[in-house]
């Protein structure tokens, strides 16, 4: 039977696959659009499995915030190359994922993948993901997400160059302050809001290290104790948001800034693309040898 250009176009839009693949599937299924789409998904399965084993440490962070700033979600989606991560298809998928998390409140990534993708007329996120992998030709990984919902506070956010994203829940203050603090967190990498949140095990470990270093000075024990206490306080200021100098005014701390504004930070989250992923090192010589041997 004859397959029209409009049929091929429709199937391409649904699956994201090439023109010849779509036309071939339509011919094989006698023009049945649903059967052709299923056939292409089956054929793409083997390709997807191969790509799934490849390292994906590039990507983008996307954030979706409700108009009233009381609900928000942030996601990290990874790709193999930065080139793919810059594309409209990839960024659109990441943005739609963030909106889906914000509305759907899934407990984990597995549950998220079963939801319908927000803004997409049909299919689950898993199906949209498979279509994107097939279209872009890279392993794409939905790595993680975080969702905030608040009744008495408001949420600020900031994304820097697709690679760093921050969400912060603020009680009091205004939208400008929340945004400025999100920018500060992106730049200064605090690990905790305040000293009270730092685990005792973390402090004990640093105290042990600082004590051993101070002993090398040969000073009396009481002096060493003061040196260690001073270094612990400095360390705590460095890793806590409240203890850090505010990036837009280093002469004041974030704690003083918040006090002046009558505001309080309830929590924050900072994502950086690829952080914690073991990128290792690829042995290209071994790879070439394997290919040469037909492996």
- Tens of pLDDT, residue by residue over 120-163, are 766 789 989 988 888 888 889 999 999 999 999 999 999 999 99
The torsion angle over the Cα atoms of residues 190, 193, 197 and 200, rounded to 10 degrees, is 30
Q: What is the third-level CATH fold of 55-149?
A: Tetrahydropterin Synthase; Chain A (3.30.479)
Give domain limits for the chain: 5-52, 55-149, 199-239
For the entire predicted model, the pTM comes to 0.77
Phi, psi (degrees; rounded to nearest 5) at 124 = -90, 175
Q: State how far the Cα of 138 lies from the Cα of 89, in Å rounded to an integer.
A: 13
Q: Residues, the chain, total?
A: 295
CATH architecture of 199-239: Orthogonal Bundle (1.10)
- Whether residue 78 is predicted with pLDDT greater than 70 in this model: the reply is yes
- Whether residue 50 is predicted with pLDDT greater than 80 in this model: the reply is no
115 CB-side CA count, 13 A: 20
- Tens of pLDDT, residue by residue over 154-195, are 999 999 999 999 999 999 999 999 999 999 999 999 999 999
User: In the predicted model, what is the mean pLDDT of the chain?
Assistant: 87
pLDDT of residue 163: 95
85 CB-side CA count, 13 A: 23
- Whether residue 55 is predicted with pLDDT greater than 90 in this model: the reply is no
Number of other CB atoms surrounding residue 113 within 10 Å: 17
Give mean pLDDT, residues 254-268: 97
- Whether residue 53 is predicted with pLDDT greater than 60 in this model: the reply is no
pLDDT of residue 156: 97
Structure tokens given for 265: 């930070």
Q: Which of 59, 87, 72 lies closest to 143 in space, CA to CA?
A: 59
Residue 288's H or E segment, with its range, is helix 284-292
Q: State how far the Cα of 143 lies from the Cα of 103, in Å rounded to an integer.
A: 18
- Tens of pLDDT, residue by residue over 4-47, are 888 888 887 766 666 788 888 889 888 888 888 777 766 665 55
Give mean pLDDT, residues 67-94: 95
Homologous superfamily of domain range 5-52: Ubiquitin-associated (UBA) domain (1.10.8.10)
Asked if the domains at 5-52 and 199-239 fall in one CATH topology, the answer is: no
């Amino acid at each position: 039977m004859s397959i029209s250009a409009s049929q091929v176009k429709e199937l391409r839009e649904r699956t994201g696959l090439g023109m010849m693949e779509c036309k071939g599937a339509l011919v094989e299924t006698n023009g049945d659009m649903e059967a052709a789409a299923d056939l292409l998904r089956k054929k793409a399965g083997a390709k997807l499995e191969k790509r799934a084993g490849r390292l994906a440490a590039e990507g983008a962070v996307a954030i979706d915030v409700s108009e009233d700033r009381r609900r928000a979600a942030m996601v990290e989606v990874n790709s193999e190359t930065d080139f793919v991560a810059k594309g409209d298809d990839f960024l659109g998928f990441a943005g739609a994922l963030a909106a889906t998390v914000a509305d759907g409140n899934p407990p984990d990534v597995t549950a998220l993948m079963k939801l319908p993708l927000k803004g997409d007329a049909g299919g689950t996120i898993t199906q949209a993901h498979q279509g994107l992998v097939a279209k872009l030709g890279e392993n794409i990984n939905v790595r993680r997400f975080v969702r905030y919902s608040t009744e008495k506070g408001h949420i600020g956010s900031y994304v820097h160059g697709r690679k760093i994203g921050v969400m912060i829940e603020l009680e009091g203050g205004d939208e400008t302050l929340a945004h400025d603090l999100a920018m500060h967190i992106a730049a200064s990498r605090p690990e905790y809001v305040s000293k009270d949140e730092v685990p005792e095990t973390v402090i004990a470990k640093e105290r042990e290290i600082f004590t051993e270093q101070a002993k090398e000075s040969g000073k009396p024990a009481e002096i060493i104790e003061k040196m260690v206490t001073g270094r612990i306080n400095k360390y705590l200021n460095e890793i806590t948001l409240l203890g850090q100098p505010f990036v837009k005014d280093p002469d004041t701390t974030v704690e003083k800034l918040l006090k002046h504004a009558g505001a309080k930070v309830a929590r924050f989250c900072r994502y950086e693309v690829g952080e914690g992923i073991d990128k290792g090192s690829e042995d290209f010589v071994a790879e070439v040898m394997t290919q040469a041997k037909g492996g």
